[in-house]
Amino acid sequence: MSRTCVGAIAGSFGVKGEVRLKSFCAQPEAIAAYSPVETEDGRTFDIRLGVTLTAGFAARLTGVNTREEAEALKGTRLYVPRDRLPDPDEDEFYHMDLVGLQVVDTGGAEVGRVLGVVEQPGGDLLELSAPGRSETLLIPFTKAIVPTVDVAAGRIVVDPPEGLIDD
């Protein structure tokens, strides 16, 4: 069963066991609705959000009662099973669903496979492993350059401008 990272603990907040919680959800407060969340090592926590902070929320996690316990969780990533997430809207994708997809150009020639999605202020980039290249290839993830994403078929079609992927 695949899991999706929905947030991370940035440290403690206050002295009574609250944590500073960063949400990776499109609607940040939605992270609480995915409770219980689990860690990489299998611990589970229910989340109760507190006040909104600059980079997230103050939150209570079940079983975390002291500042020291909260601080010990700093850097912990929080996951939920993929099937508990809502289906994305049309032309929206979960990054994890794109990883591993084959990428071809409009003529059907193989360009590579998706290694990940790099989020940038100017727009997301697809990071590809490309045959015959030692370095990864970055392609802007825009409708103009990536006209077709077919997760079910395991394929992405790209129409890069001249020079973007050519040596």
Least confident of 2-6, 30-34, 76-80, 148-152: 2-6
- 71 with 112, same domain: the answer is no
- 48 with 77, same domain: the answer is yes
What range does the domain containing 34 cover? Answer: 3-84
Asked if residue 109 belongs to a domain, the reply is yes
- 58 with 107, same domain: the answer is no
Q: Among 70, 53, 76, which Cα is nearest to 17's?
A: 70
- 53 with 113, same domain: the answer is no
**Does pLDDT of 167 surpass 60?**
no
Burial of 30 (0-12, 13-18, 19+ CB in 10 A): middle
Task: Provide the phi-psi class of 68: left if phi over 0, else alpha when psi is between -120 and 50, else beta.
Answer: alpha
- pTM greater than 0.75 (yes/no): no
Report how many domains make up the chain. 2
pLDDT, one tens digit per residue, over 101-133 is 999 999 999 999 999 998 888 889 999 998 888
The CATH number of residue 136's host domain is 2.30.30.240
Q: Among 93, 87, 148, 89, which Cα is nearest to 116's?
A: 93
Terminal Cα-to-Cα distance of the chain (whole angstroms): 39
